[in-house]
Every structure is written in structure tokens, then in C-alpha cells.
Amino acid sequence: MIRLKTLTSDLSATGIGIIAGLIGYAILPVDDPLAAAALVAYGLAVSLTINRFGLRCSWRWLLVSAVVISSAGFVSFQFFSVDLLPIPLLFTGSVSLLLIQIYRLWSLDRQLTRRLFSSSTSKAESSANARLASGLKLLNTVLPLSEAVVFRCDDSNSLEAVARLKGPAPNSQDPRRNSVWREGINLCQQAVAGGKLATGNPVSQTATGQNSSTVAVPLLHEGETAGVLLIRLASEFSVEDTPLLEAVSSQFARNLERESFSKSAARTQSLSFFSQAGSRRKLDALNVLKAVTVEQRCEASTLTHIDDGVAIAYLDGTLALVNPSLLSFAGLTAEQVAKMDLFDLLHRFRTDIFDEPEIAVRRVLQTGVEYEGELNFEPKNQILNLRISLLRNDETPIGIAIHVKDLTSTKEYEKLKSDMISLMSHELRTPLTSINGFAELLSADQTIPAQAREFVSIIANESQRMSRMINTFLSVTQLQRKDKQEVLKIPLRLDEVVRETIASLQPVAKKKRIRLLEQPAHRIPPVAADKSLITQAVKNLVNNAIKYSPERTTVTVSTALEAETVRVCVEDRGFGIPAEAKERVWDKFYRVVREGQEKDEESTGLGLSFVREVVEQHGGRVELDSEEGRGSKFSFTLPRL
């Protein structure tokens, strides 16, 4: 093959050299046949030399030959009156150099074009319309669409509808129908001209009482507009959905580029080196390869060999990869998953906690923050950790990753550890309770000598100190354990937890003459949480507020809905916390020392640390707002369901 290419190249160079010699013979005043042969010979020498060695390596030889021809022609004419035709030779050599260089560039361009187009054509998919329809289906799942249309832009910026998703059948008698369509086309033209999202004015829907809106999103790829996505929403457009629309529109643009290229790549490319249209198609081929490369970066063959379940989906909902472990977790075969999209797969993992996969995917697309949840499948005696993440390429969203990890064995180990700790704490506390009880009885006996009563008092104090040490040990152990005593997340209403906590601590507050109040909010949605742990966290905050508040003050406990979280706040009018201690109060064993007072020996310094550990394990955050001498406000937030 290489010899054949070399022979073909040499034959072409020979033909170019002969043509260059004939051009010189025809244009310049040369009548001698021997001179014509000399011109052809020199043209052949130049073309074959450049063809074999290249211009970079041959230019010195060409320069030397030109100097020699010029010098010989000058000397022979001046001294011997013989014309050696230096000008025709130099002209022929220049023509030969120009032609062979053009031929070499054209030949390289043909090779580049063949490889480029063969690679791009193999990657360009003819099912672009199907992928566009799948992308519209994804949008319809996460947004309240009334209608969606994908337009392709040609070179004159004319719009051609290539995919459509229709909602409920429109009323043909609706007088606003034509005006809404005209507004949509105008928005599409604005989006193409400006290269950014365009929105129309909200329109009131008398049937539903809500406002509908129209949005046009340019489909941009490599800085060029491939088309426009026009959608009509059944509600007002939210700016929070802009990242979602931009990400999906990028996928649509890549799909349109592939389809457009697959239709135009069949044309002949022999003269594309001299054609603007040919150069444009080569640029399109590069764009297609770039689009395919961007998508394939989110695929990794090594993912098929790991124990954790992994799936990757493009932003049009198409599943790019599902490894065998995830197939096993979902109870699917490769043939079954081949017919599924992203949401079909996620619905195989639905539980009481993860009951609306569409909402989780929408939050991931909007914010870029991954979703993580623990799924308990009691019938299969299986506990899985599910994580949904957004894949990016240079900050551009390109796909969605699903990661599933089996926690069943880990949970069983942690449960065994918990049982052992519980048994140890019981076996240690039982003898200590007896020692402490009998020591108190003996210390109350007045017939015992004073020295013996002193010894008994020491025994009682040390046994109580031992009990506190055991409690501290158990608290530290609980904080260090990952499952926090069999964490079982269920839908939980925090306002009910607050109400129960206040009822249980009212006697403690009254004993200290403190007014304990609840400040509830209406329509608080549930959170996914372990009731016992969250209840203990709330009790710790309220107990601290009661413990460190002066008499005849008020402690207020409130709940509130804040965007996607629910907040619980405990506010007191106590001594407050110094500024230098605000960050450290959440640390283990740290106890605030107020001026003129010693540390509270009854406190272990673990209450607030426990609160932070529990809240963060549930995906929430703790906060503190305090001013010394004016009280403190401790609060935490948990993600709503």
C-alpha cells in the first residue's frame, strides 16, 4: 500500500513537471526543441525533488540551482554570446514549484478530509429526531410543559421544526392561539440574534387561574447556533430552571449538528480544498467529533468492573452506561435496561424516602449539588446508598451519574457493635447502681462512725463519677459511629417533634421558673430523619437553653419552612456566648467558662457536638447567633421531602 501511494505520488509529480515545462515552452519565446526538453527536464527535477523531500528540505537545493542557472546564463551570454535560457528555466522551475506545492497541499487535504469525514460519519447518528424526542420527554417530566418545539437554523437563519412535544389538545377556537404562536416565533428570532434565552410576558389562563409563559432557548454548540428550543409552560417561568434549559439545549445542539452533518457528508469532497462549502463541511465534521468526544468522556469502561453500581445518562435521558452491579441491585437484565431511560431506571429504587425521582433529578440539574439518600428495602433485607450527581466538562453539564452502594453488611456490623456497647453499658451500670445505692444508705446511717461515714461518702462520689464517665464514653462512641444507633430515616414532621419535646421538658422548665413556649408554623412539610436521634438533638438544645437561662425568662422553640429546608430554632434570653467561643461550642468536650465562674462539672461538653453530628448526618446544617449578655439562638435545618 505504501509503495503504491509512493508510485502514484511520483507519477503525479512527473506529470506536474512535464506540464510546468510545457507551460514555460508555450509562454516564453523558445523555438529550439532541445531548449523545450531542457525546460521539461528542469520542471521534472524541481517537482520530483519537492515531492520526495518536501519544500523545507529542498529549498537550499532550489536556491543553489537558481543561482547556478542565473550565473551560467550571464557568463555564457557576456563572454560567449550563447543564450542558455536562464529566464525560461527559472520561470519553469517557479511554475513547477507552485504546482507541486498546490498538489501536495491538495493531497494532504484529501487525506485529512477522508479521515475526518469517515470518523465523523461513523459517529453521526441518524436517530437525532428520536434523541430530541427523548430530550423533550425529559423536560416534560421535570417542567410543566404545554408544548415544546425544536427548530433547526439554516445558513439564512430560517427556522425549521424538527421535533415537537404536544400537551393537551389546544382549543382551535382560542383567539390567543395565533398570537401566542407569533410571539413564540419572535422569541426564537430574538434568541438566535442575541445568543441567549428569551422569555415572553406571562399570559393568564382563565381555565386554571395560573399564568402561562413562553421561553425560547438558543441551541448553541462551539459558539454557533444550531437551532432554537421553544417551550410553553403551564406556569410562570422560574429563573431557577435556566441552568436546566441551557444544559438540555446544549445536548439538543449536539444532536442537531450530528444530524445535519450526516445528511451533508455524502457529497463529493475531491475539490473541497478549493471550496468554501467544502471547508464549512470540514468544520462541521470537527464540531461533530467534538460533540461526540464530549459525550464519550462520561463513559468509562472500568466502571463495569467495580462492585458498586454505576449508571451514566446523557442530558436527553438516554442511558449511556449501566454496569453489572447496578443491574443486579435493580433486578434487571441488559436487554431490559436497553429499553429504559433515566427515570425508568430510577423508579426501580423507589422507597418511602426516594418516592419522586423526578424532583431529585431536577434539583441536581438546577443546582449542580448531588442528591444522596439511604434506601431501606425491608423485603429484600437490603440497605442501599443512592447518589445522583451532575457530570461536567469545563463547567458545562454533560450527563448524570447514578452511584449505588450496598450498605447491608456495614449496617449489620454496626448493629453488632451497637449491641455489644449496649450490653457493656448495662453490665457496667448495674454494679455501679448497687454500689451507689448502698453507699447512700450507709452514709445516712447515723450509727456509723464519722471516719467510716467519710469513707462511704468517698465511695458514693467516686461511683457517681464513674457513672458520668460511662455516660461520656457512650456519648463519644455514639458520635463516632456511622449509623448513630441504627439510623432509620422515615418521613418526620419536625413541628410534632418540637411539640413532644416541649411537653416532656415543661416540668424541668417550671422547676427553674422558666417559661417554655412553642412558636409553630403552618404547613410544615416532612423531612427524612431518624425520629429518636432528631428528638434527642432537639432535647439537647432545649435543655441547654433551660440550664443556662436565668429564672423568670423565656425559651422559645420555633419551626419554619425556608425554601427547600425546614428550620428548628431554640432561642433563650440567657447569658449568651462570647464571640471567641462561638465556633468551639460545637466541638467535643468544650465547655464555655463565663467570667467569675468555673466549668460546669456536670456537663460532658458533648451535647452540642451530638446535635451537629446528627444534623450533618441527615444532610443539614447547624447555626448559632448569640450576643453575650443578651441570649442565644441555636438552630438547625434539614432538607424537606
Q: Is residue 293 part of a domain?
A: no
Q: What pLDDT does residue 139 have?
A: 86
Does residue 124 carry a pLDDT above 70? no
Which segments of 368-493 does DSSP mark as H helices, in order? 408-444, 450-480
Domain housing 100: 2-123
Do residues 38 and 25 touch, judged by C-beta distance below 8 A? no
Q: What is the mean pLDDT of residues 66-72?
A: 75
First to last CA, the chain: 66
Q: What pLDDT does residue 484 have?
A: 47
Question: At 610, which CATH number?
Answer: 3.30.565.10
Q: Work out how many domains the chain is built from and give that number.
A: 5
* % of residues, the chain, pLDDT over 70: 77
Check whether residue 27 and residue 147 sit in a common domain: no
Check whether residue 151 and residue 228 sit in a common domain: yes
Does residue 276 carry a pLDDT above 60? no
Describe the strand order of the beta sheet including 319-322 as a list of residue ranges.
319-322, 309-313, 396-406, 382-393, 371-377
Strand 371-377 to strand 396-406: parallel, antiparallel, or no bridges (unpaired)? unpaired
Question: At 327, which CATH number?
Answer: 3.30.450.20
Check whether residue 418 and residue 399 sit in a common domain: no
Mean of the per-residue pLDDT values of the chain: 78
Does residue 636 carry a pLDDT above 90? yes
Check whether residue 31 and residue 81 sit in a common domain: yes
Q: What is the mean pLDDT of residues 26-33?
A: 68
pLDDT tens digit sequence for 163-179: 888 866 555 555 566 67
Check whether residue 537 and residue 629 sit in a common domain: yes
Q: What is the mean pLDDT of residues 563-591?
A: 82
Q: What is the mean pLDDT of residues 572-591?
A: 79
Q: Is residue 473 part of a domain?
A: yes
- Banded pLDDT at 403 (limits 50, 70, 90): very high
Residue 550 Cα distances to 275, 503, 579, angstroms: 88, 20, 20
Strand 382-393 to strand 371-377: parallel, antiparallel, or no bridges (unpaired)? antiparallel
Check whether residue 471 and residue 568 sit in a common domain: no
Cell of 492: 418526620
- Banded pLDDT at 386 (limits 50, 70, 90): very high
Rounded to whole angstroms, how far apart are CA atoms 386 and 349? 9
Does residue 465 carry a pLDDT above 50? yes
Q: What is the mean pLDDT of residues 379-386?
A: 87
pLDDT tens digit sequence for 233-264: 888 888 888 888 888 888 888 888 777 766 66
Q: What is the mean pLDDT of residues 348-374?
A: 88
- Range of 167-176, 391-400, 585-594 with top mean pLDDT: 391-400
Check whether residue 217 and residue 357 sit in a common domain: no
Q: Is residue 99 part of a domain?
A: yes
Check whether residue 63 and residue 191 sit in a common domain: no
Check whether residue 174 and residue 116 sit in a common domain: no
> Of 94, 123, 152, which marks where a domain is finished?
123
Question: At 427, which CATH number?
Answer: 1.10.287
Do residues 384 and 423 touch, judged by C-beta distance below 8 A? no
Cβ atoms within 10 Å, residue 246: 18
| Residue 136 CA neighbour count, 13 Å, CB half | 25
Residue owning grid cell 395560573: 210
Q: Is residue 289 part of a domain?
A: no
Rounded to whole angstroms, how far apart are CA atoms 26 and 172? 76
> Please, what is the Cα angle at 629 between 625 and 633, to 5 degrees?
25
Do residues 142 and 361 touch, judged by C-beta distance below 8 A? yes
- Banded pLDDT at 568 (limits 50, 70, 90): very high
Q: What pLDDT does residue 485 have?
A: 47
Cell of 382: 437490603
DSSP 205-227: -TTTSPEEEEEEEEEEETTEEEE
Check whether residue 67 and residue 141 sit in a common domain: no
| Residue 219 CA neighbour count, 13 Å, CB half | 25
* % of residues, the chain, pLDDT over 90: 7
> Of 264, 280, 310, which marks where a domain is finished?
264
Cell of 593: 467558662
Does residue 129 carry a pLDDT above 70? yes
Q: Is residue 273 part of a domain?
A: no
Cβ atoms within 10 Å, residue 338: 10
Q: What pLDDT does residue 214 have?
A: 87
Q: What pLDDT does residue 483 have?
A: 47
* Residue 280 zone, left/alpha/beta (φ > 0; ψ -120 to 50; rest): alpha
- Please name the helix (run of DSSP H) or strand (run of DSSP E) that holds residue 503, with its range, or none: helix 494-511
Check whether residue 560 and residue 500 sit in a common domain: yes
Q: What pLDDT does residue 301 have?
A: 64
DSSP 325-355: HHHHHHT--HHHHTT-BHHHHHGGG--SSS-
Check whether residue 348 and residue 430 sit in a common domain: no
Q: Is residue 296 part of a domain?
A: no
Q: What pLDDT does residue 470 have?
A: 74
Q: Is residue 388 part of a domain?
A: yes
Q: Is residue 287 part of a domain?
A: no
> Of 458, 480, 502, which marks where a domain is finished?
480
Does residue 416 carry a pLDDT above 90? no
